[in-house]
Amino acid sequence: MAKIIPTLNSTRKEKITYAAAALFRQNGYRATSMREIAEALGVEAPSLYNHISSKQEMLEAICFRVGDSFLSNFDRIEKDGSSFIKKVETIIRFHIRIMIEDYDMMYVAEHDWRYLPEPHHEEFGRMRKRYRAKFSGLLAEGMKGKKIIPLDPNVAVLTVLSAVNGVDSWHRSGKKIDAASLEENIVALLLRGLAS
Amino acid sequence: MAKIIPTLNSTRKEKITYAAAALFRQNGYRATSMREIAEALGVEAPSLYNHISSKQEMLEAICFRVGDSFLSNFDRIEKDGSSFIKKVETIIRFHIRIMIEDYDMMYVAEHDWRYLPEPHHEEFGRMRKRYRAKFSGLLAEGMKGKKIIPLDPNVAVLTVLSAVNGVDSWHRSGKKIDAASLEENIVALLLRGLAS
DNA sequence: GATAAAAACTAATAATCGTTAGTTTTACTG
DNA sequence: CAGTAAAACTAACGATTATTAGTTTTTATC
**With an 8 Å Cβ cutoff, are A194 and B31 in contact?**
no
Q: pLDDT at position B84, please?
A: 87
**With an 8 Å Cβ cutoff, are B194 and A88 in contact?**
yes
| Contact criterion met (CB below 8 Å) for B53 and B79 | no
pLDDT in tens, B4-16: 666 655 788 999 9
Q: pLDDT at position A176, please?
A: 75
Give the closest residue to B136 by CA, choosing from B114, B166, B113, B159: B159
Residue B89 CA to residue A124 CA, distance in Å, equals 35
pLDDT in tens, A36-76: 999 999 999 999 999 999 999 999 999 999 999 999 999 99
- Name A21's Cβ contacts closer than 8 Å, sequence gap at least 6: A58, A62, A104, A105, A108
Residue A22 CA to residue A108 CA, distance in Å, equals 9
Low-confidence spans in chain A with pLDDT less than 70: 1-9, 194-196
Listed as ranges, the nucleotides of chain C within 7 A of a protein C-beta are 6-12, 16-22, 26-27
Give the closest residue to A91 by CA, choosing from A149, A148, A157, A168: A157
**With an 8 Å Cβ cutoff, are B28 and A28 in contact?**
yes
Q: pLDDT at position B65, please?
A: 96
Q: Within an 8 Å CB–CB cutoff, is residue B52 touching chain A?
A: no
- Three-state SS at A175: coil
pLDDT in tens, B123-159: 999 999 999 999 999 999 888 887 788 889 999 999 9
Answer whether any strand D atom is within 7 A of the Cβ of A50. Answer: yes
Nucleotide nearest the Cα atom of B49 (by C1'): D19
Q: Does the CA dihedral B146-A85-A187-A157 come out positive or negative?
A: negative
Selecting from A158, A170, A190 the residue whose C-beta is nearest the C-beta of B193 gives: A190
Q: Within an 8 Å CB–CB cutoff, is residue B154 touching chain A?
A: yes
Nucleotide nearest the Cα atom of A50 (by C1'): D7
* Chain A interface mutation, best of B36, B106, B159, B177, highest count of A Cβ atoms under 10 Å: B159
Q: What does each C-alpha distance from B148 to A146, B101, B133, B160, B191 come to in angstroms?
A: 24, 29, 17, 14, 9
**With an 8 Å Cβ cutoff, are A166 and B162 in contact?**
yes
Residue B40 CA to residue A140 CA, distance in Å, equals 42
Q: pLDDT at position B195, please?
A: 64
Residue B193: is its pLDDT beyond 80? no
Q: Rg of chain B over CA atoms, in angstroms?
A: 19
Answer whether any strand D atom is within 7 A of the Cβ of B175. Answer: no
Q: pLDDT at position A30, please?
A: 97
Selecting from B156, B159, B177 the residue whose C-beta is nearest the C-beta of A155 gives: B177
pLDDT in tens, B26-67: 999 999 999 999 999 999 999 999 999 999 999 999 999 999
Answer whether any strand D atom is within 7 A of the Cβ of A4. Answer: yes
Q: Within an 8 Å CB–CB cutoff, is residue B59 touching chain A?
A: no
DSSP state of A45: G
Distance from CA of A111 to the nearest CA of B (A): 8
Give the closest residue to A180 by CA, choosing from A97, A113, A109, A57: A97
Size of interface A-B (CB pairs under 8 A): 166
**Rounded to a whole number, what is the distance in angstroms from the first to the last CA of chain A?**
62
- Residues, CB < 7 Å to strand C: A 1, 3, 32-36, 45-46, 49, 53-56; B 1-4, 6, 12, 38, 43-44, 46-47, 50-51
DSSP state of A7: B
Nucleotide nearest the Cα atom of A43 (by C1'): D8
Q: Which of residues 106-135 of A touch B (CB under 8 A)?
A: 111, 114-115, 129, 132
Helix ranges (H only) for A28-174 are 34-40, 55-78, 84-101, 103-112, 118-144, 153-164, 167-172
Q: pLDDT at position A149, please?
A: 84
CB count in 10 Å sphere of residue B185: 24
Residue–nucleotide distance: B73 CA to C11 C1' (Å)? 48
Residue–nucleotide distance: A119 CA to C25 C1' (Å)? 39
Is pTM beyond 0.85? Reply is yes
Chain B residues close to A159, C-beta within 8 Å: 163-164, 166, 185-186, 189-190
Longest dimension (CA), chain B: 64
Give the closest residue to B23 by CA, choosing from B41, B4, B6: B41
- Exposure string of B104-115, with b = 16+ CB inside 10 Å and e = fewer, is bbbbbbbbbbeb
- Exposure string of B34-73, with b = 16+ CB inside 10 Å and e = fewer, is beebbeebebeeebbeeebeebeebbbbbbbebbebbeeb
